[in-house]
Amino acid sequence: MSRFSFNQVTAKPWGLPDLVAGCVEAGVDQVALWREPVAEYGLDRSAALVRDAGLSVTTLCRSGFFQAPDWFDDNRRAIDEAATLGTSVLVLVSGGLPAGSKDLAGARRHVADAVAALVPHAAAAGVTLAIEPLHPMYAADRCVISTWDQAMTIAEQHPVGRVGVTVDTYHLWWDDTVLDKIARAGERIAIYQLADWITPLPAGVLTGRGLPGDGCVDMSAFHRAVDKAGYTGPIEVEVMNEELWQRPGRDVLAATLAAYRGVV
């Protein structure tokens, strides 16, 4: 269990102090945090809470959304928040098309430029920008970076350690070329996240993910590819699921741990 990290969104309604206590009680020593609940509890308070509990923060989820008018300042704040929380990985979700735009290629070029613009600040803070390719079904409204190749092409314009890529099984599993590419990605893998693909998809397609093992993703194949790349970092379970969110946080953590043990 030494590589397991509990991603906060998996038990979204769980308050931060309870989540921290629950993790300690369960012997979980790594968590991934999200910006909104951290801001709600207070950044410095959150940092102190996890630090005092002996937890390490594997990633801060998430920044990006480069079509927003204040993307530059907001992403710089996110980098600072990551540093304050003691994590070196900030997950970037690029955002979708600007309203009314059909210029997908242009939006993708803008992401590359935006990442480049953020690298100096990230470097100064000791934070790796982890570009996350999201499933192509989010290309319009959530993330124009849809494939491993697109994320890697941007990352490779920068030094290893400054810009990396997020491997999320949910977003990448459909791609027949991705496992070989992940296996060759070496230190570009900034973080490895597990969620499973279950159908039917719910309206809005955001909250119907499954715990690892509950869907049709071949998790073993992903583990082998990530291993081959030499990745030895944390493995986050990050599942957005309305049914999980109805359950008490402690039960969700237990179910997540059981699912993780079933596939790792």
Nearer to a copy of itself by Cβ, of 76 and 223: the residue is 223
Taking the complex as a whole, the smallest distance from the CB of residue 23 to a copy of itself amounts, in Å, to 29
- 135 scored as a contact of a copy of itself (CB under 8 A): yes
| Positions 166 through 205 that interact with a copy of itself (CB under 8 A) | 173-176, 197, 199-205
Q: Figure out which of the listed residues 103, 187, 227, 242 binds a copy of itself, where binding follows CB under 8 A.
A: 103
Q: Identify residues 73-102 at the interface with a copy of itself (CB under 8 A).
A: 97, 101-102
CB-wise, 86 or 174, nearer to a copy of itself? 174
- The region of 42-50, 65-73, 82-90, 132-140 touching a copy of itself under the rule CB under 8 A is 132-140
Q: How far is the CB of 259 from a copy of itself (least distance, A)?
A: 15
Judged by CB under 8 A, which stretch of 13-21, 74-82, 130-138, 246-254 contacts a copy of itself?
Answer: 130-138
User: Considering the complex, what minimum distance in angstroms separates the CB of residue 201 from a copy of itself?
Assistant: 5
The answer to whether residue 27 forms part of the interface with a copy of itself (CB under 8 A) is no
Closest CA to 61 of 8, 117, 113: 8
Identify residues 142-161 at the interface with a copy of itself (CB under 8 A).
Answer: 146-147, 150
Is 228 a residue that touches a copy of itself (CB under 8 A)? no
Rounded to whole angstroms, the Cα distance separating 205 from 150 reads 22
Rounded alpha-carbon distances, angstroms, from residue 148 to 154, 189, 197, 219: 10, 11, 17, 17
Binding residues for a copy of itself, rule: CB under 8 A, are 97, 101-105, 108, 135-137, 139-141, 146-147, 150, 173-176, 197, 199-205, 215-218
